[in-house]
Structure 1
């Protein structure tokens, strides 16, 4: 099995209105100014997310036993409609016990990943100047989420308190989260319940291709 390798990303420099280089990720010494919460400058700094998402799709297709669906209708996999969809690709592993992944490329530019049945992961989550997240951080999060899912290190659960949760395990840590079940589309939740009950230990690793690396 060939390991995923991030594609080369050309370094870009972004400047403020006075011509100073913006050090994204360490822009604010303290709290950001109030106006930064409603400002979005240089959203194109997130274009590498599209490049990396495309590379991830190519890696999944070449390495695992999957089927791909592509088209605007695939974006309906998201729990909530997005108004600015540029491209949508669903990657379905051959094993029904493995979580599918849907990559939705937005015009912001950003990427939303629908993983399994009840969770969407957005990169970036916001993108405003106050958040100040550099593209490198967002790409790191995208890659490790996708690779955790395909490795079988992803659990979705619905608790008795009507909360929906997830857990992603990485080589160097983990992430968990919860949301109220009532905030999700009722039909999606109803359909997911019996499937997730049969997966108490989480989704299975994706099956490998018989001829990994060919991508055909």
Structure 2
């Protein structure tokens, strides 16, 4: 996924099974049973507050794993927000939040917690969308000449190309874009061997100088009349 990193998944809040995970911290061998119950009770209260506000939340109260293990476990699974709650947080009446996408940590008061967490989730959703949209826009190239097609792919772009919408032509696109820069060039050892395939016909077609003119605009691969721009890319 476009949002993933070396730690694992980075899930947008709207599609995450759990939007928030709460991890109790600071429990040691010296912690009394009463202190343990108070802390875990506070974790459950936080989970209930968030759940009642419609937030999908998981309280990780597993006793056989350390907080560090739990942090890594939930980062791997891509949960958008982690809330840490320990004895000092209980005294300050706050939680420590950590964003999965940026790693930024911020203390959040327990008063009005549900509203603040929901705002944080909305911010993460927007930030992830904006980041993905920019990456897509920056790597979407309009190509009108075949000689520019494979180099654009080799530069890790997806390509919008005027296309005739013929299956035979699409097969030829796939064959001709197999790791070659042009028809006469030798096989490029650094280029992926897999050819390009059509990904979709975008609803939003290029406009202005790039508008398809029926009977005039030609398919960049075969030279027949183009019907629309088709998005091509390689699958890795």
TM-score by length of 2: 0.21
In terms of Rg, which structure is larger?
Answer: 2
Whose relative contact order is higher, 1 or 2, with alpha carbons under 8 Å and at least 6 apart? 1
Point out the structure with the larger strand share. Answer: 1
